[in-house]
Chains A and B, each alone.
Chain A
Amino acid sequence: MIDGLLELARRRLEQGGGADALERRVERTSVAFEWGRLKAAGVTEEAGVNLRVLHRGRVGVAGTTNVGAENVGAGDAGAQHAALLLDRALASAELGEELALAFPSRAKLPRVTTHVQRTADASLARLIEIGQFLLERLTREGCQVNVAIERDVSDTRVANTAGAEGAYRSTGVAVSADVWRIAGDDVLAIGDAIESTDLPSEDALEGVVRSITSRLDHALRIVAPPEGALPVVFTPAGLSAVLLPVTQGLSGKAVLQGISPLATRVGQRVFDECFSLTDDPLAPGRTASRPLDDECVPSRGTGLVERGVVQRFIYDLETAARATTASTGHGKRGIFGKPVPGYTNLILGESGDGRRETWRELGGGLLKGINDGLLVDDLIGVGQGNVIGGAFSHPVALAYRIERGEIAGRVKDAAVAGNVYELLKRIAGLGNDARWTGSRFTPSLLLEGVAVARR
């Protein structure tokens, strides 16, 4: 355990020094069906310890996966490993940057259920059964189906020399399915994925089937793309390009670097009134939820944007110290490297109840008033280039033309472009189809005046 390691650090560090450490052990069971047949099933296990020290005003970090049967800090071999890890962290601190890092003291942790016993208990056969169910329901003439299921059971423990600590076990099941259809040189792949701390219900699996088959049915007919400044519906999956500049700009790290366009906009209305963004590490049933972050800061919800007004940025301990503010509890760390600020569960719209994963009709009711426009479900190249400035330009990977309030068919060879900060000033509609896509909960958004080009 890391307690022995921190005890050792307490003895070695001078007055004013400190340390924190994270230990994580993950057991992952994977099942993969490729091109319609069971291809791989197996279990991997990974464990490691990450240690950070504050020594003579400088920060150093070291990590190890050499935790084996002996826990770091326990037993003779463990004590040796701990001493070696501490030596490396101290050597790193000699060269580290000066930083007035303050480790949080012990605090009461909120309650959040991160662990579902039946998920941990589910046998390999049970996971294969889930895959077979999807495979059977999705198989159709002329198409190939891939299904992947990953079940994680992980134990995290984090503690520091200021007396704060926390430990939790989490479970997660991620189920994804893709249907491929290749006709000549037209390659079409439509997928969906769901993720939860609990095993998926039959209802949730049926939702995946309906989501894929409905988008596939609409995709079989190829139509010419529209052109011009048009109303465009971005589905929950298609929203990535629109949200990425905003989430990058709301990171305290970007603010410190002087590259966030939102840096000077706290308290100002930057977005449409219906645009609210919250990060919720306590969302029930979500795999990113946890009682405290990876730096011992207790979890709580962070309002980032409320009714269009920028509220605050996310910080971990280091960026908070540099910005002379408090951590918002967004420290994320791996086994190697230092913690960085990262989101947990992002929620767009009024946070409230009724968070579902079940499939609703494509477009979430936003298509009705659109005479000619586009529905974007997936774009190519999101995250490339100069994202944080807000300008984007992407060819579509999966998009549909909307004519007279209905889906007319799939478009190929089209591209969409715009500036997120311009487009989000006026949101023409939020869909009734809010759902989780990974660790993001959003409805579809209708934006007007998005540049659509053919090629």
Chain B
Amino acid sequence: MLLERPIQLAPVPPQRAEGILDLDGDVRGVPLAEKKRLIEAYNGAMLAVSDRIVDTLMTYRDEVSEYWYVNSEGAVLHELRPEVTLSGTAVARRDGTIEKGLESIGLRRGWRSVQDKAAGFRAVAERAVLLLDAPTVTGGTYPVVLDPELAGVFIHEAFGHLSEADFVYENPQAREMMTLGRRFGKPVLNVGDNGAASGLRGTLPFDDEGTPTQDTALIREGILVGRLHSRETAAAMHERPTGNARAISFRHPPIVRMTNTYIGNGRGTFEDLIRDLKLGVYACGAFGGQTMLENFSFTAAYGYMIRDGQVAELVKDVVLAGNLFQTLDRIDHIAGDFRWNQMGGGCGKGGQFPLPVTEGAPHVRIEEALIGGDLPND
């Protein structure tokens, strides 16, 4: 007996189900040459933007996986899961200055869904060229508006991982920090994780322990109301499983993971968010983000200054850094323009990468946040 305390699993009624997800033009019937022509066309669209584009990288990847889940309680689940991802990088250069643009599409669909996407790839190459002339944002604290893409990455990285119950269930101090009922934000803030949302990359009928997926509220009107569970963490915390036990493949155990994580819709338009800002930063897209405990750092793909209530000049090297608790609490306005951001790549945790997930958000305003870039004493 190795384990000091045996692991308990919260009960889940065993299901029998057959799920064929929408293959949307089954990729298995498409010849390799045709896939190559597709990415050559998108790659060509990026290269054709300017002779300042010195390098591009374009990748296409698809898979259809046949999935079986059975357990000794009687569950038998069978699914056919498609996935297709496209990603393009354009590198613009002039003398010593190098800028890049990234476009990534990831869908739990098939061949038809990745046609006619040249415009998006062209747009990031154009932006990379424009960034060559853009000034570096001046570091400091500003009111910051996040576009839906960056807001989605932010909520996944900065808050989502803390709401995974395996972070708290055996750690009394972490449990205290994440006590249900604690205020995390103003009443405008609603956050959730919805594995049952229709047609997204993180969507599945059941998780990898056979638990049906669901829409789980995490923050409701600013108050922490839920967390994400596997059967093991749910049992340990006397809560209900939420269908968030996922494994990237048969080589790995299912652990608590996000699915489609979102900031709920607010009211009004983007213009409403910036109208009363004399000076601010509009941070767009994400080159990457990392959270370390309660601190985070996100690199926006690009940004604009906001001056006198209007979007002004393009700026680069927009790095948003801060403390999670402070920053969540400073979200004071959320627009009503929610969208899911269907990117490729995926989430990594415990050596399991890349797990298909989706993030979604409307435009979100933070009253005050630190923007890196040129530090004051540079």
Chain B residues, CB < 8 A from A91: 32
B292–A257 touching, CB < 8 Å:
no
- Tell me if B317 is interfacial: C-beta within 8 Å of chain A: yes
- Tell me if A69 is interfacial: C-beta within 8 Å of chain B: no
Give, as a whole number of angstroms, the nearest-CB distance from B64 to chain A: 16
Chain A residues, CB < 8 A from B91: 257, 259
- Tell me if B55 is interfacial: C-beta within 8 Å of chain A: yes
- Tell me if B375 is interfacial: C-beta within 8 Å of chain A: yes
B319–A393 touching, CB < 8 Å:
yes
- Tell me if A369 is interfacial: C-beta within 8 Å of chain B: no
Q: Mark B358-378, 1 if CB is under 8 A from A, else 0.
A: 000000000000101111111
A417's nearest neighbour on chain B, judged by CB, is B375
A30's nearest neighbour on chain B, judged by CB, is B351
Chain B residues, CB < 8 A from A228: 377
B372–A397 touching, CB < 8 Å:
no
- Tell me if A303 is interfacial: C-beta within 8 Å of chain B: no
- Tell me if A15 is interfacial: C-beta within 8 Å of chain B: no
- Tell me if B19 is interfacial: C-beta within 8 Å of chain A: no
- Tell me if A335 is interfacial: C-beta within 8 Å of chain B: no
- Tell me if B323 is interfacial: C-beta within 8 Å of chain A: yes
Q: Which of B33, B288, B370 meets A455, CB within 8 Å?
A: B370
| Size class of the contact patch on chain A | 35 or more
Query: In the complex, how many residue pairs between chain A and chain B have their CB atoms under 8 Å apart?
Result: 144
Chain A residues, CB < 8 A from B291: 380
B294's nearest neighbour on chain A, judged by CB, is A187
Q: Mark B92-120, 1 if CB is under 8 A from A, else 0.
A: 01001111100000000000000000000
Chain B residues, CB < 8 A from A37: 3-5, 170
How far is B36's CA from A415's CA once the two chains are assembled, in angstroms?
44
- Tell me if A272 is interfacial: C-beta within 8 Å of chain B: no
Interface centre among A378, A385, A386 (most CB of B within 10 A): A385
Chain A residues, CB < 8 A from B30: none
How far is B100's CA from A44's CA once the two chains are assembled, in angstroms?
39
How far is B2's CA from A128's CA once the two chains are assembled, in angstroms?
10
- Tell me if A14 is interfacial: C-beta within 8 Å of chain B: no
Chain B residues, CB < 8 A from A27: none
Q: Which of A46, A189, A388, A391 meets B293, CB within 8 Å?
A: A189
Give, as a whole number of angstroms, the nearest-CB distance from B239 to chain A: 18
Instruction: Report the stretch among A112-120, A177-185, A325-333 that lies at the interface.
Output: A177-185
Q: Which of B139, B317, B321 meets A380, CB within 8 Å?
A: B321
Q: Which of A40, A181, A258 meets B93, CB within 8 Å?
A: A258
Question: Would you list which residues of chain A between 33 and 55 have a CB under 8 Å from chain B?
Answer: 34-38, 40-41, 44, 46
Q: Which of B296, B322, B325 meets A185, CB within 8 Å?
A: B325
Known: A95-B33, A187-B294, A417-B372. A182 touches B299 (CB 8 A): no
- Tell me if B187 is interfacial: C-beta within 8 Å of chain A: no
Interface centre among A36, A128, A417 (most CB of B within 10 A): A417
A378's nearest neighbour on chain B, judged by CB, is B292
A451–B177 touching, CB < 8 Å:
no
A384–B323 touching, CB < 8 Å:
no
- Tell me if B253 is interfacial: C-beta within 8 Å of chain A: yes
B251's nearest neighbour on chain A, judged by CB, is A44
Chain B residues, CB < 8 A from A184: 177
- Tell me if A92 is interfacial: C-beta within 8 Å of chain B: yes
A453–B292 touching, CB < 8 Å:
no
Chain B residues, CB < 8 A from A423: none
Give, as a whole number of angstroms, the nearest-CB distance from A377 to chain B: 12
B98–A389 touching, CB < 8 Å:
yes
Chain B residues, CB < 8 A from A381: 288-290, 297-299, 319, 321
Q: Mark A375-400, 1 if CB is under 8 A from B, else 0.
A: 00010111111101101011101000
A40–B253 touching, CB < 8 Å:
yes
Give, as a whole number of angstroms, the nearest-CB distance from B51 to chain A: 12
How far is B287's CA from A388's CA once the two chains are assembled, in angstroms?
14
Known: A451-B377, A455-B321. A41 touches B290 (CB 8 A): no
Known: A95-B33, A180-B171, A455-B322. A391 touches B317 (CB 8 A): yes
Chain A residues, CB < 8 A from B298: 381, 384
Give, as a whole number of angstroms, the nearest-CB distance from B204 to chain A: 24
A228's nearest neighbour on chain B, judged by CB, is B377
- Tell me if A4 is interfacial: C-beta within 8 Å of chain B: no
Q: Which of B2, B297, B325, B376 meets A395, CB within 8 Å?
A: B297
- Tell me if A261 is interfacial: C-beta within 8 Å of chain B: yes
A386–B317 touching, CB < 8 Å:
yes
Give, as a whole number of angstroms, the nearest-CB distance from B252 to chain A: 9
A35–B3 touching, CB < 8 Å:
no
B177's nearest neighbour on chain A, judged by CB, is A182
B378–A417 touching, CB < 8 Å:
yes
Chain B residues, CB < 8 A from A36: 170
- Tell me if A144 is interfacial: C-beta within 8 Å of chain B: yes
Question: Would you list which residues of chain B between 1 and 17 have a CB under 8 Å from chain A?
Answer: 2-5
Give, as a whole number of angstroms, the nearest-CB distance from B127 to chain A: 13
- Tell me if A188 is interfacial: C-beta within 8 Å of chain B: yes
Question: Would you list which residues of chain A between 133 and 148 have a CB under 8 Å from chain B?
Answer: 142, 144
B377–A453 touching, CB < 8 Å:
yes
B131's nearest neighbour on chain A, judged by CB, is A386
- Tell me if A413 is interfacial: C-beta within 8 Å of chain B: yes
Q: Mark B208-229, 1 if CB is under 8 A from A, else 0.
A: 0000000000000000000000
B170's nearest neighbour on chain A, judged by CB, is A35
How far is B88's CA from A341's CA once the two chains are assembled, in angstroms?
21
- Tell me if A227 is interfacial: C-beta within 8 Å of chain B: yes
Give, as a whole number of angstroms, the nearest-CB distance from B376 to chain A: 6
How far is B370's CA from A258's CA once the two chains are assembled, in angstroms?
33
Q: Mark B281-316, 1 if CB is under 8 A from A, else 0.
A: 000000111111111111100000000000000000
Chain A residues, CB < 8 A from B97: 389
How far is B296's CA from A182's CA once the two chains are assembled, in angstroms?
17
How far is B375's CA from A390's CA once the two chains are assembled, in angstroms?
15
A453–B373 touching, CB < 8 Å:
no
- Tell me if A229 is interfacial: C-beta within 8 Å of chain B: yes
B375–A386 touching, CB < 8 Å:
no
A92's nearest neighbour on chain B, judged by CB, is B32
Known: A189-B293, A257-B55. A453 touches B4 (CB 8 A): no
Give, as a whole number of angstroms, the nearest-CB distance from B308 to chain A: 26
Question: Would you list which residues of chain A between 413 and 447 have a CB under 8 Å from chain B?
Answer: 413, 415, 417
The 8 A-B pairs at the shortest CB distance, nearest first, are namely: A384-B288, A381-B297, A182-B173, A187-B293, A35-B170, A385-B299, A384-B299, A455-B370
- Known contacts A180-B174, A229-B377, A384-B319; can you find 16 more A-B pairs with CB under 8 A? A37-B5, A94-B33, A95-B32, A95-B33, A144-B173, A182-B171, A184-B177, A185-B177, A384-B288, A384-B297, A384-B298, A384-B299, A386-B98, A393-B139, A395-B322, A415-B375
12 residue pairs A–B, Cβ–Cβ below 8 Å: A36-B170, A37-B5, A38-B3, A187-B293, A227-B377, A229-B377, A259-B93, A389-B97, A394-B372, A395-B321, A395-B372, A455-B141
